[in-house]
Amino acid sequence: MKIFVLGAGMMGRAVVYDLGRARDVKAVAVADFDRDRAYEVARTFGRGKARAHFADVRDTQHLAKLAHGYDVLLNCTQYNWNLDVMRAALAARVNYMDLGGLYHMTRKQFALDKDFRRIGRIAIPGMGGAPGITNVMARALTDPLERVDAIRVYNAGADEQHYDSPIAYTFSIATILDELTMPPIAFERGRYVEKPMLSDPEPGKFRAPIGSITLRNSIHSELGTLAESFRHKGVKEVFFKINYDPRLVNLVRDLDQAGFTSREPVAVNGTRVAPRAVLLSLMQQRAPKKTARDVEALRVVVTGRSRNRRVASAMEMWADHSTRPQLSAVARDTGFPAAIAAAMLARGEIRGAGVQAPENVVPPQPFFNELKKCGFTFRRWKLNPQKI
């Protein structure tokens, strides 16, 4: 099988590493606007299987030409390019997968459902960690239930690395800015609602080094699919909550209030520049060079009814960083599940056509088994529904 990986950033290199060690993956393409980075990732992580390319997501025809003949186009670029890359996959007549779309983009992607059905290919938006692993855990928890009342998704993490600056992150700083400045979406009483930023604080307990933390609402891709996928079982509540470093939250809030996250160009010394573009450039230049020593936990809690009894259960995935190769926990539990799902799709273990949410097409147990081989741990337990 042959997998085309678009994007050679932190997540892309984790994807290439995992595909490189998969025995039945015969060839991997690594494409990026930064040609040197693509070559470096292909050489360092591809185990001799990877070939690098220059690609511009704005050039649909060239990208389609590069991806033609591959089994899957796996998009690891910034989420705002998802529709452009999907159109390239359609032109190349290949299957498509990405890492998420922060709700609004995810919903837009389903407009291409008929186009993918027409060519007999499948597109799976949000097939990383959160979204991705979280969606498939939701499927595993809801399958035994006749009725689903609520699906609650939690993303918790901690980093034991010491940074001198609050500008420390293990995934796209552009996405972090959006998550901390775009109003969250939740599904309450059977309706989508917009929530205040970082609202509804909820205490959470996790094993060390995460410990006792506070999780709050944040915009996320799971809300783009879970309510629709389980609407037939009567789901009335879905939300996503996460913990962020308070220093980073306060910094972004101050920058946002000062106008530095605006995409609208302003006049500066005779030219016009977007404050957000300048901010992103500065933050990327000043990003810490230290490798994260992080852990991440993804937890899904589901309540519903089974045999006319109210029940509740939870499932949690735990990921650690690695030193050989140096990959953060977030890169591992985003890139590895994407690589695993892409390989499953290429093998025919994931079937279907059109734009499909991960929870509707990825078989839970085979998927979890592959993740366990990568060192991820899972646990599942029952809860007292009266205490939720």
Q: H or E segment at 257?
A: helix 246-257
CATH number at residue 157: 3.30.360.10
Same domain, 95 and 137: no
CA 153/CA 267 separation, integer angstroms: 42
Same domain, 208 and 125: no
The answer to whether the CB of 220 falls within 8 A of the CB of 101 is no
Same domain, 152 and 207: yes
Same domain, 93 and 197: no
Tell me whether residue 273 is in a domain.
no
Tell me whether residue 31 is in a domain.
yes
Alpha carbon dihedral 136, 141, 143, 149, in 10-degree steps, equals -110
- Considering only the C-alpha atoms of the chain, give the largest distance between any 2 of them, rounded to a whole number of Å: 70
Tell me whether residue 193 is in a domain.
yes
Q: CB within 8 A of 61, min separation 6: which ones? A: 91
Tell me whether residue 276 is in a domain.
no
Same domain, 96 and 187: no
Same domain, 187 and 319: yes
Q: b/e per residue, 63-85, with b = 16+ CB within 10 A? A: bbebbeebbbbbbbbebebbbbb
CATH number at residue 38: 3.40.50.720
Number of domains into which the chain is organized: 2
| E strand intervals along 92-139 | 95-98, 122-124
Spatial CA neighbour of 6 closest among 353, 58, 285: 58
Helices (H), 110-172: 113-119, 133-142
Q: H or E segment at 285?
A: helix 275-285
Same domain, 146 and 110: no
DSSP β-ladder status, 354-355 and 122-124: parallel
Same domain, 153 and 167: yes
Which domain covers residue 239, as residue numbers? 133-251+284-327+376-387
232: tokens are 């037939």
Same domain, 234 and 380: yes
Same domain, 296 and 343: no
> Whole-prediction pTM value?
0.94
Tell me whether residue 274 is in a domain.
no
Which amino acid type is present at position 100? G
Spatial CA neighbour of 345 closest among 96, 76, 17, 50: 96
Tell me whether residue 302 is in a domain.
yes
Tell me whether residue 212 is in a domain.
yes
DSSP string spanning 302-335? EEEEETTEEEEEEEEEEEE-EETTEE-HHHHHHH
Residue 318: C-alpha distances to residues 208, 262, 365, 366 (Å): 11, 35, 16, 17
Same domain, 70 and 179: no
Same domain, 323 and 227: yes
CA 348/CA 342 separation, integer angstroms: 10
The per-residue pLDDT string of the chain (388 residues; one tens digit each, 9 = 90 and over) reads 999 999 999 999 999 999 999 999 999 999 999 999 999 999 999 999 999 999 999 999 999 999 999 999 999 999 999 999 999 999 999 999 999 999 999 999 999 999 999 999 999 999 999 999 999 999 999 999 999 999 999 999 999 887 776 666 556 788 888 998 999 999 999 999 999 999 999 999 999 999 999 999 999 999 999 999 999 999 999 999 999 888 888 888 888 889 988 999 999 888 999 999 898 888 777 766 677 899 999 999 999 999 999 999 999 999 999 999 999 999 999 999 999 999 999 999 999 999 999 999 999 999 999 999 999 999 999 999 988 8
Tell me whether residue 260 is in a domain.
no
